């Protein structure tokens, strides 16, 4: 029997053809299987969290704020918390999906019991576009910017830049699209094969793809880099790429 927390969402949708699938939402059904969903769907997800911990140890300064924008269940916040060596910091974890925020609070509470002395995490239910960011030494957008409307992304990155202290770090992980259609088709194919190896059926893969259409809007690595540099970041580099999934670090 399958465990309750296993992602089988797109097997359970009756007879629906991919064309009839409802747009993907961060609801209760998704939040309940979320760790399994990301682990099986995003190549490099575990590596992104590991690096966030290492980067927190290097970049988080005493008395500063760290932001986890689109925190979901708080995985990146906890990675930062485990990495931070500096004193007197605060992690602010923000998400606008109530189903995520409720579960995130429980997970963080458990982590407090395990490690009571670590950096406090404030969990906020709200839109990251309205977040006030200040005195930050580290900001994480781990697979979140891709869900913002294209027109809002420039403002978001500029606000992050303004909220960061000099020398502060942004980790931006995203699904991307390749400008070369042949390469894009190969990378999508390799990703789908990866999902099949992780026990998703071809039907689940095509239904999920249909559900994410117009919800997750990927851009090219070039567009991300250019936007970061336009906002004022002094350097930006891809540190991880696995098929169409990248993680970029940018330093103010
Ligand atoms: C992780 N970072 O595990 N305001 C706030 N939250 C938002 C907004 C918004 N405007 N738009 C989307 N979200 C996490 C994984 S998941 C990635 C991040 C994925 C939230 C949304 O509710 C969801 O929880 C998260 O961004 C994206 O490291 O599902 O592929």
Q: Is residue 8 part of a domain?
A: no
pLDDT for the residue 37: 85
147 Cβ closer than 6 Å to some ligand 1 atom: yes
Which residues are CB-contacts of 223 (< 8 A; sequence separation ≥ 6)?
none
Q: Which atom of ligand 1 is least distant from the CA of 48?
A: 28
For the record, the structure tokens of 182 come out as 């042949």
Q: Is residue 241 part of a domain?
A: yes
Q: Is 36 exposed, middle or buried (0-12, 13-18, 19+ CB in 10 A)?
A: middle
Q: Is residue 73 part of a domain?
A: yes
Per the structure, the count of domains in the chain is: 1
What is the CATH classification number for the domain harbouring 222? 3.40.50.150
Tracing tokens 């709200």 back to the chain, one arrives at 126
Q: In what order do the strands lie in the sheet with 90-95?
A: 121-125, 90-95, 65-69, 136-142, 164-175, 245-251, 235-242
Q: Whose CA is nearest to atom 25 of ligand 1?
A: 70
Q: Is residue 27 part of a domain?
A: no
Mean pLDDT for 156-179 is: 98
Q: Is residue 203 part of a domain?
A: no
Q: Is residue 193 part of a domain?
A: no
Distance from the CA of 227 to the center of ligand 1, in angstroms? 20
The share of the chain scoring above pLDDT 90, in percent, equals 78
Residue range 180-200, pLDDT digits in tens:
999 999 999 999 999 989 988
Question: Is 193 strand, coil or helix?
Answer: helix
Residue range 25-58, pLDDT digits in tens:
878 887 888 888 899 899 999 999 999 999 999 9
Distance from the CA of 142 to the center of ligand 1, in angstroms? 8
Q: Is residue 125 part of a domain?
A: yes
Q: Are 117 and 42 in contact (CB under 8 A)?
A: no
Q: Model confidence at 16, in pLDDT bands (50, 70, 90)?
A: low
Q: Whose CA is nearest to atom 27 of ligand 1?
A: 144
Q: Is residue 208 part of a domain?
A: no
- Containing domain of residue 148, as a range? 45-177+216-251
Residue range 131-163, pLDDT digits in tens:
999 999 999 999 999 999 999 999 999 999 999
């Amino acid at each position: 029997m399958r465990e309750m927390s296993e992602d089988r969402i797109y097997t359970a949708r009756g007879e629906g053809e991919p064309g009839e699938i409802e747009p993907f939402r961060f609801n209760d059904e998704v939040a309940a299987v979320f760790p399994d969903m990301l682990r099986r769907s995003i190549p490099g997800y575990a590596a992104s969290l590991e690096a966030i911990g290492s980067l927190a140890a290097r970049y988080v300064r005493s008395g500063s704020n760290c932001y986890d924008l689109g925190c979901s269940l708080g995985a990146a916040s906890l990675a930062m918390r485990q990495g931070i060596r500096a004193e007197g910091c605060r992690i602010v974890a923000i998400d606008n999906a109530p189903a995520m925020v409720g579960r995130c609070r429980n997970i963080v509470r458990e982590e407090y019991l395990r490690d009571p002395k670590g950096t406090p995490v404030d969990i906020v239910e709200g839109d990251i576009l309205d977040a006030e960011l200040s005195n930050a030494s580290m900001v994480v957008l781990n697979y979140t910017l891709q869900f913002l409307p294209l027109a809002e992304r420039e403002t978001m990155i500029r606000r992050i830049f303004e909220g960061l202290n000099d020398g502060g770090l942004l980790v931006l992980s995203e699904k991307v699209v390749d400008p070369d259609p042949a390469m894009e088709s190969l990378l999508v194919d390799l990703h789908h094969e990866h999902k099949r190896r992780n026990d998703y059926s071809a039907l689940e893969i095509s239904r999920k793809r249909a559900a994410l259409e117009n919800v997750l809007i990927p851009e090219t690595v070039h567009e991300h880099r250019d936007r970061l540099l336009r906002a004022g970041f002094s350097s930006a580099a891809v540190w991880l790429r696995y098929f169409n999934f990248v993680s970029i670090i940018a330093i103010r």
